[in-house]
C-alpha cells in the first residue's frame, strides 16, 4: 500500500509539493540504504541462538513495522505546511528503518531454509506469489474504497479520498503482524555456516569490494536497480493513468489481473521450466516480448482501459519469470560468492543488494514527481481544473516509457553480464557438495551431512 499510494496520498490529499515529495523520498532512501549493510552485518556476526540467524530479527521487527506503517498515514491535511513536511519525513524515515530490520533477514532467509537449487526456485516463486496476491487484493479493494466520481465546476472527475487511508493502514498493520509471526513459527533454518567461518574476523569493506567485483552480482544488481527505478517507479503513474487518462480511478482495481493471470498461468510449470532451461535463460530472452508490447502501447492511441489492461497482461507474461525467480537468482549469487571467497555471508551480501535496491527505489519514487514537475509543469494534482486531455496523455506516455527503458536495461544485464546459466549453477552445486540434493528437504539435509560430517536441522 505504501509503494502504491504514498505519492497520491501526500501530493493529492495532504498537499505536499511533488518536488518536495521527490526530494524527501530520495534523501530518506539514501539514508535508509546505509542501514541495510549494518543490519546485514549484525545478522552475520551476532551469535545465533539455536542456530537461527534471521528468524529472531523477523519476530521482533514485525511489531515496530506494523505500528510505523499505520502512523505514516495520519491525516495532516489541515496542518501548516511545515508541520506536514515534518510528519512526512519523520514518519517515513521511522517506517523505512523498521522495514529494513525485517526485510534484510526475510530476504536472506531463503538461502538458509534449503540448499537445493530447485527448492530455492520454488521458495522464490511462492514468495513472489504471496507478494503479488497480497498486492492484487489491495489493488482491487483500495481503489474501490478511495476513489470517488464527483462533479467539480461542471466536470466529472475521479477524486482521491485520502481520509480513509489511516483505517486501511491499521487493518493491514494487524494482518502483517500476524503473517510475520506465522512465518517465524512455521520456518526452519537448515543451512548454517561452518565453525571455521564463524571464527574469521568480519570485514564488511572486504565483502563490499568483493560484491562489486562479482560479475553475477553486478548483472543481478543492475537488473534489479532498473526494475526499481523504471518499472516499479512507474507504478505511481499507473494510478494516475486510470484516474486522469481513462477518467476513473476505480478501474485500477482491474489492473491486478495483468499480473495475477500470468503468475497463475506460469506458476505450475516453474519447476519444470527451471530444470529444462535454467533461471538465467528464463529471465532474459522472454523480455524481448515485453519490450515489443510496450513499444506498441506507446505508439498506438489506446482509448479502451480493457485493451490497456490486456496489453499490460501480455507484457507481464513475457517478464513474469524475472519476478518469480528474482530471489532464486540472488541465492545463486550468494553460492557463487561462497565459492569465490570461501565464506558464506548471505546476510551482508543480501543487505548490500537491498541497499542498492532501496537507493534505486528512492530514485524511482523521486523520478515520477520530478518528471511531472518538469515535463508537465502545468499539471497540479490537487487542482482538477488542470487535468486536461493533453496532460493526461503525457502521463500515459510516461507510464509506458519508464518500464520500456527499464526492460531494455534488464535484458542487457541479464543476457550479457549475469553469467550463472544452467550449467554453471549445476557446477557450483557440485563444488559446494550439494550435487546429490534431490527435490525434498530431507535429501538436502542428507547431502549437507555427508559433506560436513554433521546434520544440522
Asked if the structure places residue 369 within a domain, the reply is yes
- Look at residue 447 in the predicted model and tell me its pLDDT: 39
Q: Which residue segment(s) compose the domain that 154 sits in?
A: 2-189+200-429
Q: What is the rounded radius of gyration, in angstroms, for the C-alpha atoms of the chain?
A: 22
Q: What is the pTM of this model?
A: 0.73
Asked if the structure places residue 437 within a domain, the reply is no
Asked if the structure places residue 445 within a domain, the reply is no
Nearest Cα neighbor of 7 from 412, 373, 406 is 373
Q: How far apart are CA 136 and CA 259, in angstroms?
A: 8
The CA–CA distances, whole Å, from 29 to 41, 115, 358, 363, 433 equal 19, 32, 6, 8, 39
Cell of 320: 513474469
- Look at residue 439 in the predicted model and tell me its pLDDT: 42
Asked if the structure places residue 249 within a domain, the reply is yes
Instruction: Identify the helix (H) or strand (E) that includes residue 25.
Output: helix 18-45
- Look at residue 442 in the predicted model and tell me its pLDDT: 43
What DSSP line would sit under 163-221, residue for residue?
GGHHHHHHHHHHHHHHHHHHHHHH--------HHHHTSPP-HHHHHHHHTT-HHHHHHH
Cell of 165: 487511508
Asked if the structure places residue 434 within a domain, the reply is no
Asked if the structure places residue 450 within a domain, the reply is no
- Look at residue 26 in the predicted model and tell me its pLDDT: 87
- Look at residue 449 in the predicted model and tell me its pLDDT: 44
Phi, psi of 17 (to 5 degrees): -60, 130
Cell of 31: 539514508
Nearest Cα neighbor of 255 from 312, 189, 339, 190 is 312
State the CATH number of the domain containing residue 270: 1.20.1250.20
Asked if the structure places residue 405 within a domain, the reply is yes
> How many domains does the chain fold into?
1
pLDDT along the chain (457 residues), means of 10: 85 90 87 76 70 84 93 93 93 89 82 76 74 77 86 78 92 94 88 54 73 91 93 86 89 80 84 90 95 95 92 94 86 88 78 83 86 86 85 93 96 95 88 57 40 43
Asked if the structure places residue 452 within a domain, the reply is no
Cell of 328: 532464486
Can you tell me whether residue 432 is helix, strand or coil?
coil
Amino acid at each position: 500500500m505504501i509503494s502504491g499510494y504514498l505519492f497520491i496520498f501526500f501530493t493529492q490529499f495532504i498537499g505536499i509539493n511533488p518536488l518536495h515529495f521527490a526530494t524527501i523520498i530520495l534523501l530518506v532512501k539514501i539514508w535508509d540504504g546505509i542501514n541495510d549493510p549494518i543490519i546485514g552485518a549484525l545478522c552475520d556476526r551476532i551469535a545465533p541462538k539455536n542456530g537461527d540467524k534471521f528468524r529472531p530479527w523477523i519476530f521482533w521487527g514485525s511489531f515496530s513495522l506494523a505500528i510505523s506503517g499505520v502512523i505514516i498515514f495520519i491525516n495532516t491535511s489541515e496542518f501548516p505546511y511545515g508541520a506536514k513536511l515534518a510528519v512526512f519525513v519523520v514518519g517515513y524515515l521511522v517506517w523505512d528503518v523498521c522495514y529494513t530490520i525485517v526485510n534484510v533477514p526475510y530476504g536472506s532467509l531463503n538461502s538458509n531454509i534449503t540448499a537445493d537449487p530447485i527448492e530455492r526456485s520454488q521458495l522464490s516463486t511462492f514468495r513472489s506469489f504471496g507478494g503479488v496476491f497480497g498486492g492484487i487484493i489491495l489493488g482491487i479493494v483500495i481503489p474501490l474504497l478511495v476513489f470517488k466520481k464527483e462533479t467539480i465546476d461542471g466536470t466529472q472527475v475521479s477524486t482521491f479520498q485520502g481520509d480513509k487511508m489511516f483505517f486501511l493502514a491499521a487493518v493491514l498493520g494487524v494482518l502483517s503482524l500476524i503473517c510475520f509471526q506465522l512465518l517465524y513459527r512455521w520456518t526452519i533454518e537448515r543451512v548454517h555456516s561452518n565453525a571455521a567461518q564463524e571464527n574469521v574476523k568480519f570485514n564488511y569493506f572486504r565483502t563490499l569490494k568483493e560484491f562489486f567485483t562479482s560479475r553475477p552480482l553486478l548483472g543481478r544488481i543492475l537488473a534489479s536497480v532498473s526494475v526499481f527505478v523504471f518499472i516499479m517507479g512507474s507504478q505511481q503513474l499507473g494510478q494516475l493513468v486510470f484516474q486522469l487518462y481513462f477518467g476513473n480511478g476505480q478501474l485500477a482495481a482491474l489492473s491486478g489481473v495483468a499480473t495475477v493471470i500470468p503468475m497463475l498461468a506460469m506458476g505450475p510449470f516453474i519447476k519444470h521450466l527451471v530444470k529444462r532451461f535454467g533461471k538465467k535463460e528464463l529471465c532474459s530472452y522472454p523480455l524481448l516480448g515485453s519490450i515489443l508490447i510496450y513499444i506498441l502501447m506507446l505508439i498506438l492511441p489506446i482509448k479502451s482501459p480493457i485493451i490497456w489492461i490486456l496489453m499490460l497482461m501480455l507484457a507481464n507474461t513475457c517478464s513474469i519469470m524475472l519476478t518469480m525467480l528474482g530471489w532464486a537468482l540472488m541465492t545463486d549469487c550468494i553460492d557463487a560468492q561462497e565459492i569465490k571467497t570461501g565464506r558464506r555471508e548471505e546476510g551482508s551480501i543480501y543487505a548490500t543488494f537491498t541497499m542498492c535496491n532501496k537507493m534505486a527505489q528512492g530514485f524511482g519514487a523521486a523520478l515520477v514527481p520530478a518528471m511531472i514537475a518538469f515535463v508537465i509543469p502545468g499539471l497540479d494534482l490537487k487542482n482538477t481544473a488542470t487535468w486536461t486531455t493533453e496532460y493526461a496523455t503525457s502521463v500515459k506516455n510516461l507510464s509506458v516509457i519508464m518500464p520500456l527503458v527499464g526492460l531494455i536495461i534488464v535484458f542487457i544485464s541479464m543476457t550479457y553480464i549475469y553469467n550463472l546459466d544452467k550449467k554453471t549453477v549445476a557446477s557450483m552445486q557440485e563444488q559446494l557438495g550439494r550435487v546429490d540434493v534431490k527435490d525434498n528437504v530431507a535429501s538436502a539435509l542428507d547431502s549437507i551431512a555427508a559433506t560436513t560430517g554433521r546434520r544440522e536441522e
